[in-house]
Structure 1
């Protein structure tokens, strides 16, 4: 029979149970101390790693880049920010075009995801029962388990000429319609895989689950008694949806838009693989940092999505989106 090792606390005359009891009693009485002990490790990690890296990035955005020697020197300058925000700067036009292109795509993807996600989330919340609800949950979350890179590369094959989309268009006799759409200036491209429309389709597919789940959660919290009261008061189904259901579910839409908007704003893989050659913010930062080596300019440009997302989060908070997360 094995003999347990002696407790070192007992060897020194310190009763283990008594110490644990006093420590538990102290933490029970001092809830603030308990909360501090629980939050200190993650807050240290957040403050040192995340905020520290952001501050280091912000500091590098004021550094100077020598175009001749390709060297970065710690000489503080505002030239990088002038290239983004000063209309008198020669680079302002190209830089603002990148920002507006990215913003337009992020807004379009967010609206499309909301329009597609709402009917799915509404059916999940109000009509799906038992195995149906489980099936919908798995169907929505299954694409999130696949590799992001694999999905992006798969779409380049799906949208290419000779792919399944072109086969379906040809089978339905919609070739002329597709060619007319691709000829539009806003779409731009000789095929779906090299057009803004193809890029928009890929973004919408990839971020759609991030919109469905918050809307579904918001709809689940809408009391059925409110809908029944609206019907008892003579409101038609369309009126009930417009005046009761939609306002109560709107924070869920805004909560989902936080994901779709911010993820599209900072993505650089999909714009690299699908669509025309126009740069997005993520592509520009990647090119400046990797191919060119202009880290100060890349750091300055990363401030743009940080500011845009901060403003968006402030607006979302006023609309009650955080309550729906």
Structure 2
């Protein structure tokens, strides 16, 4: 009876108890999959039959860090992830600032719909749309022609543009939510004290919205690290870590090496989350 009364008085506790078994199951499944991934990374492969040999070896990681092509792909993937995150942050901040502090309530709702709407479209549709626009004779070439420019074509630039477009809503929405929590009185007080717009932006707005930018970067950075489809569509002959995993699971049928490659994004994200946590940015969300 006491437990029943407690649940009746605290509906939030009741909801939490109802969600605990599914969340526990998802946690076990996710952690179990990660454990299987790490274990498989230390297995070997029979060079003659191609069968997985359940013997402990460091050969997969040795090949990963000693063969030049894999080091190049790793550095390329990390560089693309950083550039996509920075580009999205630079685009998302002014857009979110206008939505939160300048646009009227009606315009704000319309802009929110415009930001969210691309998420309803298929990933492949959006990626192939950029392939058409970036191709020779495409929209980008047509727009750039009067200025004496041309389309960048298919390559790393096209990959960065495509991924920045795909993940942009994941950066805009957290920053918008962070700016909405910024009291307008702070901006008015800064102006009354004689601060310029740039000073207010640097000393008032950015410190408040920084945790939201970090939250958005977690999406854009991690999603880019694991992507392998966009680079196949618009990347030309370039590869990212996801492509190496895909090729070794499929054509090469080398599951242990694929697992070893897949640990790189996991380790990078763990390091990134640890660094972010130490800054205290996530605690201020």
TM-score of the pair, normalised by structure 2: 0.92
Q: Which residue is 1:255 aligned to?
A: 215
Q: Which moved more, 1:106-115 or 1:76-85?
A: 76-85
Q: Secondary structure at the match of 2:49?
A: coil
Mapped partners of 2:148, 2:110: distance in 1: 33
Q: Does 1:111 align with 2:71?
A: no
TM-aligned CA deviation for residue 30 of structure 1: 10
Mapped partners of 1:227, 1:234: distance in 2: 11
Q: Which residue is 1:278 aligned to?
A: 238
TM-aligned CA deviation for residue 99 of structure 1: 0.8
Aligned partner of 1:221 among 181, 187, 208:
181
Mapped partners of 1:220, 1:33: distance in 2: 28
Mapped partners of 1:79, 1:301: distance in 2: 12
Q: Which residue is 1:299 aligned to?
A: 259
Q: Secondary structure at the match of 2:217?
A: helix
Q: Does 1:38 align with 2:38?
A: no
Aligned partner of 2:115 among 124, 129, 140:
140
Q: Secondary structure at the match of 1:279?
A: coil
Q: What are the equivalent positions in structure 2 for 1:129-278 lying under 5 Å apart? A: 129-170=104-145, 172-175=146-149, 178=150, 192-278=152-238
**Structure 2 CA distance for partners of 1:196 and 1:32, relative to 1, 3 Å:** closer
Mapped partners of 1:200, 1:36: distance in 2: 40
Q: Does 1:84 align with 2:64?
A: yes
- Could you list the runs of 4 or more consecutive aligned residues of structure 1 that deviate by over 6 angstroms after TM superposition? 29-33
Q: Which moved more, 1:122-131 or 1:310-319?
A: 310-319
TM-aligned CA deviation for residue 118 of structure 1: 0.7
Q: Which residue is 1:71 aligned to?
A: 51
1:202-239 C-alpha deviation (Å, 9 max, x unpaired):
01111111111111111111112222222222212221
Q: Which residue is 1:8 aligned to?
A: none
Mapped partners of 1:293, 1:197: distance in 2: 30
Q: Which residue is 2:73 aligned to?
A: 98
- Gapped regions of structure 1 (runs ≥ 5): 1-20, 179-190
TM-aligned CA deviation for residue 36 of structure 1: 7.2
Query: Would you say how many aligned residue pairs link Structure 1 and Structure 2?
Result: 285
Asked whether the equivalents of residues 214 and 324 of structure 1 are also in contact (C-alpha less than 8 Å), the reply is no
TM-aligned CA deviation for residue 137 of structure 1: 0.2
Asked whether the equivalents of residues 251 and 319 of structure 1 are also in contact (C-alpha less than 8 Å), the reply is no
1:251-301 C-alpha deviation (Å, 9 max, x unpaired):
111111111111001100001111231220101100111110000000011
Asked whether the equivalents of residues 88 and 164 of structure 2 are also in contact (C-alpha less than 8 Å), the reply is yes
TM-score of the pair, normalised by structure 1: 0.81
RMSD (Å), alpha carbons:
2.3
Asked whether the equivalents of residues 255 and 324 of structure 1 are also in contact (C-alpha less than 8 Å), the reply is no
- Gapped regions of structure 2 (runs ≥ 5): none
Q: Which residue is 2:100 aligned to?
A: 125
1:289-324 C-alpha deviation (Å, 9 max, x unpaired):
111000000001111100101111122223444356
